[in-house]
Amino acid sequence: MTSATAAPRRGAREKRLASPTQRRGEAFFLLGPCVLYLVVFSIYPLVVSLIRSFQDYDTRKNSWRWIGTDNYSQLFSSSDFWSIVEHTLVFSVAGVFIQVTLGTALALFFNQRLRGSAIVRGLLILPMLITPVVVGLMWRALLNPEWGLVNWVFIKLGFHNIGWLSDPGTALRTLIMVDVWQWTPFVFVIVYARLQALPQDVFEASAVDGANWWRRTRYITLPLLLPAILFAAVFRGIDAFRTFDLVFGLTNGGPVQATSTLSYEAFQNGFKYQHYGYASAISYVMLIVAAIGVTVLFKVVNVRREDVS
């Protein structure tokens, strides 16, 4: 009687189990939209732009002509290109270094649980909520040499009128300053969130052992924060390396290409001069440099997850 009852149950269970073909069909049905999206909006544009980097567009005939590696040869033999590479690297490295330093310092400061810190933290993150183009236009008005608020304050304090955006010697530093103003809160949010999640028993034990604030910060807090700091640095480094909108809104690459970055140069060649193949070559050089840079960074900086029991 028992075996007879179990047999139908076993059969019903086997019927409920889907066949491998049916499970494969369900997987294709669920993953199909994602795969289609990646192919249409990621893989296909990447492949087409790679092919275009070996071609030249004729605006009169509205046709493409295969020229091999001429775009890359022209790119690497151009002195303007290497000057723009230098501007991009200085902007990325200096800006990210200052942002990481200030963001980490702010996170450590606000971890002191001071009165009114919640309101100040809310005001602190406002710059990163503004669109970079709007930030550029806003700071262009503030730094205007004739009626800008910043120069007005400097003149009232006894300083001379500064050509923030018109002097090639100060334009790039001004661009870095505005980028730091906008994106230091991002690093602060990442590091501060990690700081709040650190185990407190470790700090209590170190305080019992007699470690002061400086020693706790140097030997305990910063090593535990290193994964979050590295994540923020890599994220901001990639974003700064491909910066376009802030340059477009603030300086338009000037004066005399003093603030032109690789992304802005690709935009200029593609949409202003219609050198689409040359612009694609610049974009792929950026892609290769960014991939190599991130890979080397993760190889050199050995960050292990610290599990504290």
Instruction: Read off the tokens for 273.
Output: 């001069």
Judge whether 240 lies within some domain: yes
CA 53/CA 291 separation, integer angstroms: 18
Judge whether 66 lies within some domain: no
The predicted-structure confidence for 67-85, as pLDDT tens digits, reads as follows 999 999 999 999 899 999 9
Tell me: pLDDT of 95 over 90.
yes
Please state, for a pLDDT cut of 90, what percent of the chain lies above it.
Answer: 46
Judge whether 131 lies within some domain: yes
Tell me: pLDDT of 308 over 50.
no
Judge whether 230 lies within some domain: yes
CA 108/CA 102 separation, integer angstroms: 10
**Range with the lowest mean pLDDT among 59-63, 99-103, 105-109?**
59-63
Judge whether 141 lies within some domain: yes
- The residue range of the domain holding 117 is 76-300
Judge whether 306 lies within some domain: no
Give the sign of the dihedral formed by CA 283, CA 288, CA 291, CA 292: negative
Q: What is the pLDDT of residue 204?
A: 75
> What's the mean per-residue pLDDT of the chain?
85
Tell me: pLDDT of 22 over 90.
no
Higher-confidence residue of 299 and 123: namely: 123
> How many domains does the chain contain in total?
1
CA 263/CA 228 separation, integer angstroms: 27
Judge whether 65 lies within some domain: no
**If you count them, how many residues does the chain have?**
309
Tell me: pLDDT of 167 over 70.
yes
Judge whether 6 lies within some domain: no
Using 50, 70 and 90 to split pLDDT, how confident is the model at 92? very high
Q: Which residues pair with 64 in a beta bridge?
A: 57
Q: Which residues pair with 65 in a beta bridge?
A: 56
Highest-confidence segment of 28-32, 125-129, 303-307: 125-129
Tell me: pLDDT of 25 over 80.
no
Q: In CATH, what number is assigned to the domain containing residue 204?
A: 1.10.3720.10
The predicted-structure confidence for 224-277, as pLDDT tens digits, reads as follows 898 899 889 989 999 999 999 999 999 999 888 899 999 999 999 998 888 999
- Average pLDDT in the 7-24 region? 57
Which pTM does this prediction carry? Answer: 0.83
- Give, in order, the Cα–Cα distances in Å from 276 to each of 53, 67, 71, 281: 8, 13, 10, 9
